[in-house]
Structure 1
Amino acid sequence: MNFNPEKKTITIILQITSFVIVSLILWNTNSFFKKFKEEERNKVEIWASALVELQSLPADADPGNLPLKIFQNNTTTPMILMNRDGAIKVSNMPKEITTDTALIQKKIIKFGEENKPIKIEYKGEDLATLYYGNSDVLNKLKYYPIALLLIIFLFGTVIYFFFKTNKSSEQNKLWAGMAKETAHQIGTPLTSLLGWNELLKAENINPSITEEIEKDIARLETITERFSKIGSLPILAEHDIVVETKNAFDYLKLRSSKLIHFSFSSKAENLPVLLNKSLFQWTIENLVKNGIDAMRGKGSISVEILKEGNNAVILVSDTGHGILKKDFNTIFNPGFTSKKRGWGLGLSLVKRIVEEYHKGKIKVLTSSKDGTIMKITFKLNS
Structure 2
Amino acid sequence: MRRSAPVVLVIVGVALLLGWYVLYTRSLVRDLRREASRVGLMYARVYDGLNDPSAEAANTALLDLSGHIRESGVPVILTDPQGNPTAAVNLPFDEPLNSPRVKEYMRELDRENRPLVEKDVGTVHFGNTPLVRGLTIIPLLQTMLIVMFLAAGAYALRTRGRADREKIWAGMARESAHQLGTPLSSLSGWIELLREAADDPMTATALSHMESDLVRLQRVANRFERIGRPPKKEKVDIGELSERVAAYFRARVPTLAHRVNVQSSRSGELVFDADPVLMEWAIEALTKNAIDALAGSPGNVRIFAKAMPEGRLRVRVEDDGPGIPRELR
TM-score normalized by structure 2?
0.62
Structure 1 distance, partners of 2:160, 2:113, is 54
* 1:321, distance to aligned residue in structure 2 (A): 6.2
Alpha-carbon distance, 1:122 to partner: 4.6
Q: 2:115 maps to which residue?
A: 118
In the alignment, residue 169 of structure 1 is paired with which amino acid? A
The one-letter code of the counterpart of 1:309 is P
User: Which of 169, 180, 184 is the aligned partner of 1:175?
Assistant: 169
1:135 matched to 2:129? The reply is yes
Q: Find out whether 1:289 has 2:282 as its counterpart.
A: no
**Residue 218 in 1 paired to residue 210 in 2?**
no
Measured on the aligned residues, the alpha-carbon RMSD in Å equals 4.2
* Cα separation, partners in 2 of 1:144 and 1:294, compared to 1, 3 Å: farther
2:273 matched residue in structure 1: 274
**Counterparts of 1:371 and 1:254, CA distance in 2:** 33
Q: Quick one: distance in 2 between partners of 1:205 and 1:222? A: 29
Corresponding residue of 2:227: 230
- With over 3 angstroms needed to count, the CA separation of the structure-2 counterparts of 1:119 and 1:134, relative to structure 1, is closer
Q: d(CA) in 2 for partners of 1:226 and 1:115?
A: 70
**CA separation of 1:290/1:134 partners in 2, compared to 1, >3 Å: closer, same or farther?**
farther
- Tell which deviates more after alignment, 188-197 or 153-162: 153-162
Q: What TM-score comes out, normalization by structure 1 length?
A: 0.55
Partner of 2:52: none
Flag the 1:158–1:284 CA change in 2: closer, same or farther, 3 A.
same
- Contact in 2 for aligned 1:79/1:90 (Cα 8 Å): yes
Aligned 1:1-382 pairs, distance under 5 A? 76=72, 78-83=74-79, 86-91=85-90, 97=92, 99=94, 105=102, 108=105, 111-112=108-109, 114-115=111-112, 118=115, 120=117, 122=119, 130-206=124-200, 207-257=204-254, 259=258, 261=260, 268-293=267-292, 296-298=295-297, 301-310=301-310, 311-317=312-318, 319=321, 322=324, 369=326
The change in CA–CA distance for 1:299 and 1:186 in structure 2 (over 3 A counts) is same
Is 1:82–1:89's contact at 8 Å kept on the other side of the alignment?
Answer: yes
> What letter corresponds to residue 288 of structure 1 in structure 2?
T
Cα distance, 1:298 vs structure 2: 4.2
Structure 2 CA distance for aligned equivalents of residues 370 and 268 of structure 1: 36
- Do 2:77 and 2:85's aligned partners in 1 also have CA atoms closer than 8 Å? no
Name the count of aligned residue pairs: 261
Shift of 1:314: 2.8
Q: Which residue of 2 aligns with 1:4?
A: none
- Write the distance in 2 (CA, Å) between the matches of 1:144 and 1:291: 60
Q: Which residue of 1 aligns with 2:46?
A: none
Structure 1 residue runs without a partner (length 5+): 1-59, 323-367, 373-382
Secondary structure, aligned partner of 2:283: helix
Closer, same or farther: CA 90–320 of 1 in aligned 2, 3 Å: farther
Residues 246 and 262 in structure 2, CA contact (< 8 A), matched pair in contact too: no
One-letter identity of the residue aligned with 1:286: A
Structure with max Cα Rg: 2
User: What letter matches 2:238 in structure 1?
Assistant: I
Change beyond 3 A, Cα 1:137–1:304: farther
